[in-house]
Amino acid sequence: MSKNESVGLRAGKPSAGDKRKGLALDALTDKNQTVRVNFELDREEHIRLKVHAAKTGKTIADVLRELVATIE
């Protein structure tokens, strides 16, 4: 590998991470950004959620967004 090729690793000051932390906290306050949430349910929970969404004419994502909106 030549000097110009990169494998994604860089040396740097550990204190440089402090700037990135501040940027990450700023991103949390931006209401227009979205994040992907991924978690596991057992099969029965998933079926109940999917049936509920279908009965109400909503997507699973819509059901979960509405639930999150009720949390203070």
- At residue 32, the pLDDT reads 75
With a cut of 70, list the residues of the chain below it in pLDDT: 1-10, 12-31
Hunting for tokens 């978690």 — which residue is that? 39
Burial 22-38 (b: 16+ CB within 10 A, else e): eeeeeeeeeeeeeeeee
Kindly report the pTM of this predicted structure.
0.55
pLDDT of amino acid 64: 97
